[in-house]
Amino acid sequence: MNTDRIKHILARVEKPGRYTGGEYGELIKDKNAVDLRVAFCFPDTYEIGMSNLGMKILRDCLNAKDWLWCERCFAPWDDMEREMRREGVPLYALESGDDIKDFDIAAFTLQYELCYTNVVNMLSLAGIPLFAAERDESHPLIIAGGACAYNPEPMADFVDVFSIGEGEYALVELCKLYREYKKAGRPRAEFLRAAAKIKGMYVPSLYEVSYGEDGRISDFRSKYEDVPERIEKTFLTDMDSAPFPTCYEIPYIDTVHDRMVLEVFRGCIRGCRFCQAGIICRPVREKSPEVLDRQAREMYKRTGYNEISMCSLSISDYSGLEGLLERLLGWTEKERINLSLPSMRIDSFYGELMEKAMNVRQSGLTFAPEAGTQRLRDVINKNISEDEIMAGCAAAFDRGRTALKLYFMNGLPTETDDDIRGIATLAQKIVDLYYSKKRQKGKGVTVTVSVSCLVPKPFTPFQWMGQDTVDELKRKQLLLKECITTRKIVYNYHDSEVSFLEAVFARGDRRLSAAIAEAVRRGQRFDSWDEFFSYSTWTQVFEAVGIDPAFYANRSFDYDERLPWDHIDCGVTKEFLRREAELAVAETTTPDCRSRCSACGLQDKGCTLWKKGGAN
């Protein structure tokens, strides 16, 4: 990378290693020898983006094509942005140092609703018109994907094409099409019309939305007969043959996850009713232990990292976990490589599996009961009993653990103050359990209780249910704080105002684009960072553009109303989600997918579990 134009800037910023590129493993191609150039733009800091496995996978898929070069770009921290704007340096890619505005495609990943202002600010910093309607043939095509693309509407006015689902093959297909239209000199409008016919591709400009007097969506339809009314997600069916990078850039500075990452499987069998990932990532698809072991060995040879993290939604539900651990332990112990397991279901964390996990991870353990009472755990379909929770904690204590972290939520549907008090009661029972037997002298126990606020997400059974108001969430947080009476319990909780804004954009429609653009104009960015989030600024923004944020966050949606994301098909039917919502109110659980098929809609679309049990 040519750093001449930013040398003097780098001397004035906190972490210049974020902006230079040149890392070991960096891929450089001859930009004059490729037909298409893509900038993969991550709307957060270098440290977070370089830890993102999805970015590594998708860039590897694109760079496997000799006619395409996909480079990296990250959101600059505020000190770097100030210097760039002062010196007139536009947003650039790390590999070549070329301006993002000169690329063919700028691709953004939307992992979190509070990154939206960063996306729009990055367009501004790149010198690219913010709104899709204001861009012409001279500007890059702006595409976006990721979990938040399942409700693309709040960002619909900024993005040309959304990729819905898993993009390993779909993005390559989109780039091939763009390459053809570019070579033929055909206009962008024609390309967008053709792109809308690729499975998983949503082109917002080809759809019209109308609203009723009550503010709800009254109609949503495509403008042309050949443009599909619903966009069906794409997903891989064979994880063993799926593309997976084993060689990538090694950062010069510390990153959030500075280690090798093994993607063990996708999907989840559990069906927790608050969890969007558990729905949109269905069906369950596993990699074999043999493939995972081979990928781990290749990564170690090429990167030299001394830690392997196993990535999945619920690692203890991987059917080949014991065999995988045996394979990995067969060589990682000799090489002094640490194995790191993500948080596990507490009902799985004892017995033989517990023993093996204890051998590979000696840090604090994290469990997620999610609710403090059995009634509320049944509402959210956690399918775990207090006896199982206590047995898991006892197993951890018996093997020398003295620190446990427990995840809970507040603001859950049907929640009462007794459910809030139940969190403190359960945590105290766990502390008492530790001291019920003789422990090593001088060693006390620490139980950390971390409580987040429920954000009702699209494509979950709770998508129709309004979020508690900010004041109500704060009241519940204070109530729990008063119920905790020992220093053995450490209480952390999430900012309810941040959760409120997250709910606005999670459940919002494309009218919110005006608020996002106005917030960026007023200097908002990095909204997920405490030092930048400003609730008062957002309140002023919504007032200025004439939007009532409570209409999106706190209002309960009717079962029969048109939802902003109803044109997106995640594979799971709306009927299934409504059925689960009704079961939640009835405090009735649904078995996991391996125990019984619940006919979610994917049983004939690639799911391999449904044949093992009849649908209810």
Judgement on whether residues 335 and 204 belong to the same structural domain of the protein: no
- Residue whose C-alpha is closest to residue 84's, from 130, 121, 39: 121
Per-residue CA distances from 517 to 92, 114, 375, 498 (Å): 21, 13, 43, 18
Judgement on whether residues 164 and 293 belong to the same structural domain of the protein: no
Judgement on whether residues 225 and 264 belong to the same structural domain of the protein: no
Task: Specify the CATH number for the domain of residue 418.
Answer: 3.80.30.20
Judgement on whether residues 39 and 126 belong to the same structural domain of the protein: yes
Residue 529 lies in a domain: no
Question: How far is the C-alpha of 425 from the C-alpha of 431, rounded, in Å?
Answer: 10
Would you say 82 and 121 are in contact if contact means Cβ atoms under 8 Å apart?
A: no
Judgement on whether residues 216 and 363 belong to the same structural domain of the protein: no
Residue 295 lies in a domain: yes
- Residue whose C-alpha is closest to residue 615's, from 592, 602, 601, 596: 596
Residue 240 lies in a domain: no
Residue 290 lies in a domain: yes
Would you say 606 and 267 are in contact if contact means Cβ atoms under 8 Å apart?
A: no
Judgement on whether residues 268 and 191 belong to the same structural domain of the protein: no
Question: How far is the C-alpha of 382 from the C-alpha of 270, rounded, in Å?
Answer: 8
Judgement on whether residues 306 and 390 belong to the same structural domain of the protein: yes
Residue 183 lies in a domain: yes
Q: Which residues of the chain have pLDDT under 50?
A: 614-616
Q: 365-370 and 403-410 as β-strands: parallel, antiparallel, unpaired?
A: parallel
Q: 285-286 and 446-453 as β-strands: parallel, antiparallel, unpaired?
A: unpaired
Return the structure tokens found at 87. Answer: 């010196």
Return the structure tokens found at 331. Answer: 């060589």
Question: How far is the C-alpha of 237 from the C-alpha of 475, rounded, in Å?
Answer: 46
Judgement on whether residues 100 and 186 belong to the same structural domain of the protein: yes
Question: How far is the C-alpha of 467 from the C-alpha of 504, rounded, in Å?
Answer: 9
- pLDDT for res 438: 67
Task: Concatenate the DSSP letters of all residues of 188-236 into one string.
Answer: HHHHHHHHTTSTTEE-GGGEEEEE-TTSSEEEEEESSTTS-SSEEPB--
Would you say 609 and 591 are in contact if contact means Cβ atoms under 8 Å apart?
A: no
- pLDDT for res 355: 61
Question: How far is the C-alpha of 609 from the C-alpha of 70, rounded, in Å?
Answer: 36
Would you say 403 and 446 are in contact if contact means Cβ atoms under 8 Å apart?
A: yes
Task: Concatenate the DSSP letters of all residues of 145-177 into one string.
Answer: ESGGGGS-GGGTTT-SEEE-B--TTHHHHHHHH
Residue 530 lies in a domain: no
Question: How far is the C-alpha of 552 from the C-alpha of 216, rounded, in Å?
Answer: 10
Burial class of 440 by CB neighbour count within 10 A (0 to 12, 13 to 18, 19+) = exposed
Per-residue CA distances from 232 to 51, 191, 202 (Å): 29, 19, 9
Judgement on whether residues 168 and 22 belong to the same structural domain of the protein: yes
Residue 242 lies in a domain: no
Would you say 345 and 317 are in contact if contact means Cβ atoms under 8 Å apart?
A: yes
| Chain length of the chain | 616
Task: Concatenate the DSSP letters of all residues of 241-270 into one string.
Answer: TS---S---B-SS--TT-SEEEE-EES-SS
What is residue 99's DSSP assignment? B
Judgement on whether residues 342 and 464 belong to the same structural domain of the protein: yes
Judgement on whether residues 190 and 277 belong to the same structural domain of the protein: no
Residues with Cβ within 8 Å of 576's Cβ and at least 6 positions away in sequence, in order, are 598, 599, 600, 601
What's the total number of domains in the chain? 2
Question: How far is the C-alpha of 529 from the C-alpha of 531, rounded, in Å?
Answer: 6
pLDDT in tens, 1-41: 656 788 889 999 999 999 999 999 999 999 999 999 999 99
Domain extent, residue 168, equals 4-232
Q: Which amino acid is at 286?
A: E
Question: How far is the C-alpha of 398 from the C-alpha of 119, rounded, in Å?
Answer: 48
pTM greater than 0.85: yes
Q: Which amino acid is at 325?
A: L
The CA-based dihedral angle spanning residues 539, 544, 549, 551, taken in that order and rounded to the nearest 10 degrees = 150
Would you say 445 and 405 are in contact if contact means Cβ atoms under 8 Å apart?
A: no
Return the structure tokens found at 557. Answer: 């949606």
Judgement on whether residues 141 and 200 belong to the same structural domain of the protein: yes
> Phi/psi at 404 (nearest 5 deg)?
-125, 145
Task: Specify the CATH number for the domain of residue 139.
Answer: 3.40.50.280
Residue 576 lies in a domain: no
Residue that the structure tokens 């990943």 belong to: 109
Task: Give the distance from CA 456 to its chain's centroid.
Answer: 15
Would you say 76 and 48 are in contact if contact means Cβ atoms under 8 Å apart?
A: no
> What three-state secondary structure class fits 77?
coil
Question: How far is the C-alpha of 323 from the C-alpha of 85, rounded, in Å?
Answer: 54
- pLDDT for res 328: 94
- pLDDT for res 351: 55
Question: How far is the C-alpha of 405 from the C-alpha of 388, rounded, in Å?
Answer: 16
